[in-house]
Amino acid sequence: MSEKSYAHASNPCRQCTPLGASWAFKGIENCMSVLHGSQGCATYIRRYMISHFREPIDIASSSFDETTVIFGGEQNLEKAILNVAQQYNPSVIGIGTTCLSETIGDDVDRIIITLKKKYPDLCPLIPVSTPSYQGTQEEGFLRTVSAAVQALAGKYEFLGDKEADKSAEGAINLFTPMISPADMRWIKNVMEDLDMNYTLLPDYSETLDGGMWSDYHAMPPGGTPMERIISMDQGEASLELGSAYPDEWRPGYYLQKRFGVPNSRCGLPVGIDETDRFLTILSEISGKEIPRAYGKARSRLIDAYSDAHKYLYGKKVVIFGDTSTVEALYRLVSEIGMDPVLCFTGSPTGILPKTIERIPQPEASTEPPLIKENFDFGDAESLIEELQPDLMIGNSKGYKISRKTGIPLLRMGFPVHDRFGAARLRMLGYEGSAQLLDRIVNVVMEEKQSKSKVGYTYI
């Protein structure tokens, strides 16, 4: 399915795999990340995450030099882990690999086993293999959530003298792909409105979008407690949100196979259909009615769809970014009467074409959209010039094309570093979809006004 080899990417539509790992580790309480490789990788990732979330981000590095590259990085990793354990006193340390450590073939799993024997009092370590020449930030994120569950679920020995978290028994295990902290807070509100016992992993709703501190915290408060992840084997059910990812990236699949916890999946709850589906699954699992307020929000969204129809029907749109985000946006623009002419992602997994092909063709489309994966902005530019869409929806990396072609870009996904408020961008649920719809309509209206010879008057 891949369009071409990674070697030829020109301005790729993806960031690096350990970036996703570092992001997911931010959703575990008191977890500190170490990247096994050169310092530049940690710096690049910190820079990207800070410019998107506008929060302080600490990521340690095993800090390779020339000798490490030749003789291996075991000693460096040991030193990095011990330093981090001493300076941060974390509950968990997450270790992501980089291109360099993967290329020289460091066996991090073996190094971790040796370290645990040597230092039995060390906190739990979660290694995850994240070579960037093989994946994207999305893959790194999902692999890390899965690795955290595999490393911790059912491992009660990590609790030491502490009691197991009994409150986690019978909880629903909820897993999300990369969404904004504000959308994550919406998911938590839904679970609270339904009075459901849940464990959300990861939970970076506070760590990547927190309040002001009066005292400095080496690790921001918030995140899924390790004890809750350990007790996931006792969950009543799991629910995975996002696209149909490979089994090995899916923590719910693992919990089902290893511990018999029933698992369900639905796409990100964006738009009417997928939000209905999400709420129905929760209602079935919990046996509880969806509160009336949700029905009212749904009704308002349908009303907004009909109000927006005259502005949006048949407008051509290009969507790009991570698989789950592109899938969710595709469903939404189809519901609101737009014509998605091109969907692309930097991910090379084959998931996006299969997913979009299964969704009924939008009413406004005269032909199926072009779906490209392992795609870069170099290729996208000529295609977009040819397709002449009315709008592009995706991350800030599309800015150059937008500037060159004059096609407006609505920023969603990751990274959004040339606009403010990325951590609070909403698209999940009826309200989030309505907020995104408002933004789409306003971009289309603004574009029409700015291109009009007579401007705009209101009598």
Q: Please state the closest distance from residue 97 (CB atom) to ligand SF4, in A.
A: 8
> How far apart are CB 19 and ligand SF4 at their closest, in Å?
7
Residue of 9, 24, 31, 41 that binds ligand SF4 (CB under 6 A): 41
137 binds ligand SF4 (CB under 6 A): no
Positions in 54-113 near ligand SF4 (CB under 6 A): 98-99
Tally Cβ neighbours within 10 Å of residue 50.
13
The CA-CA-CA angle for residues 50, 53, 59, to 5°, reads 45
Please report how close the Cβ of residue 50 comes to ligand SF4 at its closest, in angstroms. Answer: 15
Give 43 or 280: the residue with its C-beta nearer to ligand SF4: 43
- What's the min distance (Å) between Cβ of 320 and ligand SF4? 19
Compare residues 131 and 251 and give the one whose CB is closer to ligand SF4.
131
Site track for ligand SF4 across 1-20, x = CB under 6 A: ---------------x-x--
By beta-carbon proximity to ligand SF4, the closer residue of 16 and 343 is 16
Q: Show the 3-state SS of the chain.
A: CCCCCHHHCCCECCCCHHHHHHHHHCCECCEEEEEECCHHHHHHHHHHHHHHHCCCCCCEECCCCHHHHHHCCHHHHHHHHHHHHHHHCCCEEEEEECHHHHHHCCCHHHHHHHHHHHCCCCCCEEEECCCCCCCCHHHHHHHHHHHHHHHHCCCHHHHCCCCCCHHHCCCEEEECCCCCHHHHHHHHHHHHHCCCCEEEECCCCCCCCCCCCCCCCCCCCCCECHHHHHHHHHCCEEEEECCCCCHHHCHHHHHHHHHCCCEEEECCCEHHHHHHHHHHHHHHHHCCCCCHHHHHHHHHHHHHHHHHHHHHCCCEEEEECCHHHHHHHHHHHHHCCCEEEEEECCCCCCHHHHHHHHCCCCCCCCCCCEEECCCEHHHHHHHHHHHCCCEEEECHHHHHHHHHHCCCEEECCCCCCCCCCHHHCCCCHHHHHHHHHHHHHHHHHHHHHHHCCCCCCCC
Q: Work out how close the CB of 43 gets to ligand SF4 at its nearest, in angstroms, rounded to a whole number.
A: 8
Using CB under 6 A as the binding rule, whether residue 132 contacts ligand SF4 is answered as: yes
Single out the residue of 44, 204, 254, 305 in contact with ligand SF4 (rule: CB under 6 A): 44
| Residue closer to ligand SF4 (CB basis): 50 or 302 | 50
**Closest separation in Å from C-beta 16 to ligand SF4:** 3
Choose between 132 and 231: whose C-beta lies nearer to ligand SF4.
Answer: 132
Total binding residues toward ligand SF4, as defined by CB under 6 A: 7
Q: Name the residue nearer to ligand SF4 (CB basis): 275 or 347.
A: 347
Which residue is associated with the tokens 């340390």? 93
| Smallest separation (angstroms) from ligand SF4 to the CB of 159 | 33
Residue number, 132 or 176, with CB nearest to ligand SF4: 132
- Whether the upstream peptide bond of residue 202 has omega within 30° of 0, thus cis, is yes
Report how far residue 115's alpha carbon sits from residue 189's, in angstroms, rounded to the nearest whole number: 40
Cα 396 from Cα 322, distance rounded (Å): 13
Nearer to ligand SF4, 73 or 220 (CB): 73
The least CB distance from residue 390 to ligand SF4, in Å, is 34
- Contact status: 393 vs ligand SF4 (CB under 6 A): no
**Residue 12 CB, nearest approach to ligand SF4 (Å):** 10
Closer Cβ to ligand SF4, 106 or 390, answer by number: 106
Minimum distance from CB of 131 to ligand SF4 (Å)? 7
Nearer to ligand SF4, 128 or 412 (CB): 128
Q: Looking at beta carbons, which residue is closest to ligand SF4?
A: 16
Contacts of 25 by beta carbon, 8 Å cutoff, 6+ apart: 31, 32, 33, 94, 96, 126, 144, 148, 202
Q: Which is closer to ligand SF4, CB of 61 or CB of 243?
A: 61
- The CB-of-184 to ligand SF4 minimum distance in angstroms stands at 25
Q: Hey, how many other C-beta atoms are within 10 angstroms of the C-beta on 1?
A: 13
Interacting residues with ligand SF4 (CB under 6 A):
16, 18, 41, 44, 98-99, 132
